[in-house]
Amino acid sequence: MQVLRRALWAMPAFLAIALTCLATTRAAVPPRKSNGLTDVVQWDNYTLFLHDQRMFLYSGEFHTFRLPVPELWLDIFQRMVAAGMNGVSIYIHWGLTNPAPGVFDFDDWRAIQPIFDAAKLAGIFVILRPGPYINAETTAGGLALWSTSLVEGAVRTNTTSWNSAYQPYVSRIIEAAKPNQVTEGGPMLLLQIDNEYSQTPAPNAEYFADLETQYRSNGIVVPLTYNDPGERMQFVNGTGAPDLYGLDFYPNNFNCTPGPFWNPVPTNFHEYHLETAPERPFFLPEFQGGSNDYWGGPGYDRCRERIGPDFEDVYYKNNWASNAKMQSVYMFYGGTNWGGIAYPGAYTSYDYSGAIKETRVLWEKYDEMKRQAMFIRSSPSFRKTDWIGNTNQSDPQTLYSGVALSGKDGNKTFATYLQNPDTGTGFIIARQLNGTSIDNVSFKLTIPSSRGPLDIPQHVPDISLNGRQSKVIVSDYTFGASGSLLYSTAPIFFAGTIGPRDVLFVYGESDQSHELSVELRGSGARINSKRVLYTESRDAITTISISPQPGWNGLLTLWESSTQLILFADPTTTATFWAPPVRAPTKNTVPGLETFWQFGTNTTVLVGGPYLVRNATLEDGGRVLAIRGDLNASVPLAVVAPESVKSVTWNGARVSVRTTGTGMLSGRLNVSPKIKQVKVPQLKGWKYADSLPEVKDGYDDSNWVVADHTSTNITIPPAFGDGRVLYGCDYGFCENNIFWRGHFNATGSETGVNLTINGGTAFAASVWLNDVFLSTVSDFSAAGETNALFSFPASALRPGEDNVLTILQDHMGNDEGQNQKSDRGIRGFALVGSAANFSAWKVQGKYGGYLGYPDKVRGVLNEGGLFAEREGWHLPGFPTHTVDFMSRDLSLGLPGGRAGVGFFTTTFDLNIPQDLDAMFSFEFDKGAQKTGEPYRALLFVNGWKFGKRVANVGPQARFPVPPGILDYRGTNTLAVALWAMEDTPVHPTLELVIEGIVQGGVGVISTNNPCWTPRTRE
């Protein structure tokens, strides 16, 4: 039977044999530990325990603030659970929720309770990471931007000023988190203390200790954790050390330019764990799940080449080989750096080449995560393993006595042997000795087993690795109620019980041979295929050997009886199968965790074919299997369910199915023709108005903020000037575009002005004298600063009069790391050719600054200081007839082809049927990463700033926008603020494109796009 979803990269095949002699006496039970506040969550040297059950935590990162549509959080959680993940790691952004001193905003998409509610509904545990510092490629690393200006001295240290800034925020976090802990039946399993820091000097550690005390003294009892970047051994023990130490590691770094080039695979993780925290589980709270891309970078397609499914296959299983039983990948879903969220090193997209694309489209990396997570979920014996040994580099064919590599490329293979001390189950994790090699290799194994030493495979030539591939070879592996594998060189996707049957689902590459040795149970049928050989032994073990058939894909039923089912498929077909938890209480069901696998239910089914299965339930006394999920095409349906199931529904509609075996049903899921009838509207009917009145004669800036501070708490002082400090955040303007206007009475001898402008990496600034454009500067260094002489044309200077120097600056965000208190603004100013000085400096950023911005829904980082933004032209319902708007197509650029800022707006209608989930993007310039045209454009969709296009830098030309921001069944307001940076015509184009479309979805997605209301002129 053939089951197809979409063309996917083939995933490496798993091997499986490393048989271990069963001990005659049970292994000693290691002591459990806890924080003394609760026994609901405990740990030993292997894993966490939750409600006395050992658990392997396999988690992924998702930032809800990067997807500001709360109904879609459930969508992401369901996709993660469908992939077999049981944890989600979530940052909370202090700066977004505490926009001004004493002002807290946990409403709308900043709310925390909907996160927990959606996680509980989906059945996924939450690792909460509320900072205050989160890093995360966010402006100031997530610190409240006002704190970078108002806090005296350093941040993240034990000082009165810093403590008084962050502690009220943490109090609100505690209020939200306390009732949602697993101890209260909620989904919050762990809480992280701050992020990536150093224990020295001492005030750093004291700050961590203060944080922990605040949490503990106010009712947070779950374990507190820490992520240590790069094996620095910080906060393992001593002042500020939390309950659980974790290693933060990115082996392929953050540069996607090399494409498929890899760094060496780490080989010291197990030793590092023994050196740091051997009495605690080996925890990787941040392991590379992708990479951030940067301004002018190669784009995320290149990142997907570098950190794709093969990276997951080799590096993640290498973590398993180090005996890690707690891992979270960063990112699983990246989302969007909309508004002013990003730090200077990141552009709008935060796709991160995660397992789920920014558009929410699934791809091959998601499939590999699912194959891994389903194996973990299916293998209780893998939760507790001893690290026995790995390939000795000086003798690469020997693991330890009794386990050896041989064959053609045995000396090119690296393997690690793990063993469960209670069950004797063995796991050999094999990859190439040179983990970055793209060569194909083959080898054989000698392993000990409960039936004596074995040379495997026995009836096929070898075990193969296709380039960057890793395999888990299991031995003495049990599945279901009574199933038993002696060994298998085919990877395990699923193992468990469905109804009365033990089910084993293995898979492997079609161009490789595979073998499993299993005790076949019941009276059943074997497949009649030339590819498959069955060899009986005298001890009731049958070895099933599968020969290569390059190019084949499909599903083989190797054995089927009333008590046992064994399936084999290629990796692509395997990825079309799902095993949703089916809610069914057990004697061990934990109140509040009814939807969670292992803790609420151990009942499941196998569903093959759909693009996504979100959940499944048994109805009508178990006779009806009700499945909900998504389709992107019509597909065959394969179901393995209890024998009681006689009918199937898909999203509420009955599906015609027939029995194809004992407990196996087949049918077809037909996608609605509506999926091909979705029409993408053309973006036309543009209206245009000038958005740079600040450089015109007579412009009144009397209501702007006077920039006259002579001191600052920002770390780096001004470079030169007259003592006035011109840093935007000191005046309430901490993000996005900022205007500066310097007034001086000209003597006539002035020839120019010397300016040092700081805006962060990839910033730009344009300068005018009166109404004459002088020049635009930019900088792509880490400093994000430039010093330049702006010469005055004689015709521009007005001797004896008030002259105005206008500077439009693009604030790219504050740095993260050590310079969160970034010096964004004018660091130096001096007129040239005259002793005259500036009589006044004025500054204007977003309307109201962080103290008085009016758009509380979209929040503190959505708007900037462009005139159109301050007036609210980007908002739905703005009456364009009240301003001097005219018809002008966006592709015509600014009138006259001069430097300046113009504002374009239009509307378009969508009518997407309720049961369709369409993924839309806005594409500039036919998708060209870099056109060379000197313009920057801000993209507003229904008032939300969802894109910054820099055409002469790139790489982003396509900007995804989710439903909820887009109104799928109504009128949408689209606006573009176009900044032409030179006296050169620019001709941007913009189209709406579909990235993907499925029938199904998570349900109704509401919109919350407040309309324009009049604003008082500054």
Nearest to 755 by CA among 803, 796, 791, 723: 791
Phi-psi group of 1000: left, alpha or beta (phi > 0 → left; psi -120 to 50 → alpha; rest → beta): left
Given 196, 515, 735, 785, the catalytic residue: 196
Q: What pLDDT score does 396 carry?
A: 60
Distance between CA atoms of 527 and 546, rounded to whole angstroms?
11
Q: Give residue 258's pLDDT band: very low, low, confident or very high (50, 70, 90).
A: confident
Closest CA to 309 of 126, 15, 606, 574: 574
CB atoms under 10 Å from CB of 703, counted, come to 10
What is the C-alpha separation between 373 and 316, in angstroms, rounded? Answer: 11
Residue 79: band (very low, low, confident or very high) from pLDDT cuts 50, 70, 90: very high
Q: Nearest CA to 403 among 374, 386, 427, 423?
A: 427
Give the pLDDT confidence score for residue 392 in this predicted structure: 67
CA–CA separation, 1004 and 499 (whole Å)? 34
pLDDT band at 1018 (very low <50, low <70, confident <90, very high): low
pLDDT exceeds 60 at position 18: no
Cβ proximity of 137 and 337 under 8 Å: yes
Task: Give the pLDDT of residue 653.
Answer: 97
More confident residue, 1 or 275: 275
| C-beta separation of 371 from 378 below 8 A | no
Sorted by sequence, the CB contacts under 8 Å of residue 615 that are 6+ apart come out as 78, 580, 581, 627, 628, 629
Q: Is the pLDDT of residue 491 over 60?
A: yes
Q: Would the pLDDT of 16 be above 80?
A: no
Does residue 322 carry a pLDDT above 60? yes
Distance CA 378, CA 326 (A): 16
- CA dist 775 and 767 (Å) reads 6
Residue 666 CB contacts under 8 Å (≥ 6 apart), including other chains: 1, 636, 637, 638, 639, 657, 658, 660
Confidence of residue 403 (pLDDT cuts 50, 70, 90): confident
Q: What is the pLDDT of residues 961-970, one digit of tens each?
A: 999 999 999 9
Catalytic pick from 61, 137, 212, 286? 286
| Confidence bin at 15 (pLDDT 50/70/90) | very low
Task: Encode pLDDT of 301-320 as tens digits.
Answer: 999 999 999 999 999 999 99
* Contact predicate 115/90, CB 8 Å: yes
pLDDT digits (tens, 9 = 90+) for 730-741: 999 999 999 999
- What is the distance in angstroms between the CA of the first residue and the CA of the last residue of the chain? 69
Region 852-868: what's the mean pLDDT? 98
Instruction: Give the separation between CA 703 and CA 690, rounded to whole angstroms.
Output: 21
pLDDT reported for residue 822: 98
Percent of the chain residues topping a pLDDT of 70: 96
pLDDT at 478 over 70: yes
Question: Does pLDDT of 242 surpass 80?
Answer: yes
What DSSP designation does 966 have?
B
- Nearest Cα residue to 569 out of 558, 555, 579: 555
Strands 802-811 and 763-769: antiparallel
List the single range of 205-209, 538-542, 782-786, 916-920 with lowest mean pLDDT. Answer: 538-542
Q: What is the mean pLDDT of the chain?
A: 94
Region label for 633, one of left (φ > 0), alpha (ψ between -120 and 50) or beta (otherwise): beta
The answer to whether the bond into 955 is cis (omega within 30° of 0) is yes
pLDDT at residue 400, as a whole number: 66
Report the pLDDT averaged over residues 898-910: 98
330 and 350 in contact (C-beta within 8 Å)?
Answer: no
Structure confidence at residue 27 as a pLDDT band (50, 70, 90): low
Contact 520, 464 (CB under 8 A): no
- Could you tell me the pLDDT band of residue 393, with boundaries at 50, 70 and 90? low
| β-pair type (57-62, 87-91) | parallel
Q: Distance between CA atoms of 363 and 356, rounded to whole angstroms?
A: 7
pLDDT at 1016: 84
User: pLDDT at residue 171 above 60?
Assistant: yes
Contact between 181 and 125 (Cβ < 8 Å): no
Examine the residue annotation and report whether 286 is marked as an active-site residue of this protein.
Answer: yes
Q: Mind listing the pLDDT tens digit for each residue in 612-631?
A: 999 999 999 999 999 999 99
Residue 498 pLDDT exceeds 50: yes
Short-list 321, 367, 297, CA closest to 7: 367
| E-state strands within 125-243 | 125-129, 188-192, 224-229
Is 1018 or 58 the better-scoring residue by pLDDT? 58
User: Does the bond joining 988 to the residue before it have cis omega, within 30 degrees of 0?
Assistant: no
pLDDT number for residue 20: 31
For residue 519, indicate whether it is catalytic. Answer: no
In angstroms, the CA 180 to CA 847 distance is 37
pLDDT value of residue 540: 87
Helix axes 113-122, 71-82, angle to 10 degrees: 30
pLDDT band at 447 (very low <50, low <70, confident <90, very high): confident
Residue matched to tokens 């900043």: 110
